[in-house]
Amino acid sequence: MALLEIKTAGDPVLKEISKPVEKIDKRLRKLLDDMAETMYASEGIGIAAPQIGKSIRVCVVDVDRKDRNNRYDLINPVITFREGSVVDNEGCLSCPDLFGDVERAEKIHVEYTSRFGKKKTLEAEGLLARCIQHEIDHLDGQLFIDIAKNITKGRPEKK
Ligand code: CO
Per-residue pLDDT tens over the stretch 21-65:
999 999 999 999 999 999 999 999 999 999 999 999 999 999 997
Which pLDDT belongs to residue 68?
Answer: 84
Q: What is the DSSP string of 71-138?
A: -EEEEEEEEEEEE--EEEEE--TTSTTEEEEEEE-SEEEEEEE-TTS-EEEEEEEHHHHHHHHHHHHH
Span from the CA of 67 to the centroid of ligand 1 (angstroms)? 22
Is 126 part of a structural domain of the chain?
yes
Whether 18 contacts 154, CB under 8 Å: no
Is 2 part of a structural domain of the chain?
no
Is 90 part of a structural domain of the chain?
yes
Whether 72 contacts 61, CB under 8 Å: yes
**Among 123, 57, 53, 129, residue whose Cα is nearest residue 93:** 53
Span from the CA of 47 to the centroid of ligand 1 (angstroms)? 6
Residue 55: which CATH number?
3.90.45.10
Is 81 part of a structural domain of the chain?
yes
Please report how many Cα atoms fall inside a 13 Å half-sphere around the Cα of residue 25, on the Cβ side. Answer: 3
Span from the CA of 3 to the centroid of ligand 1 (angstroms)? 17
Which pLDDT belongs to residue 122?
Answer: 98
Span from the CA of 149 to the centroid of ligand 1 (angstroms)? 15
Helical (H) or strand (E) element with 139: helix 126-139
Which pLDDT belongs to residue 127?
Answer: 97
Span from the CA of 88 to the centroid of ligand 1 (angstroms)? 14
Boundaries of domain holding 142: 12-153
Is 103 part of a structural domain of the chain?
yes
With a cut of 50, which residues of the chain have pLDDT below it? none
Is 54 part of a structural domain of the chain?
yes
Q: How far apart are CA 39 and CA 62, in angstroms?
A: 9
Rg over alpha carbons for the chain, rounded to the nearest Å, is 15
Span from the CA of 59 to the centroid of ligand 1 (angstroms)? 10
Is 116 part of a structural domain of the chain?
yes
Is 149 part of a structural domain of the chain?
yes
Please give the tally of structural domains in the chain.
1
Q: pTM to 2 decimals?
A: 0.96
Point out the residues that are catalytic: 135
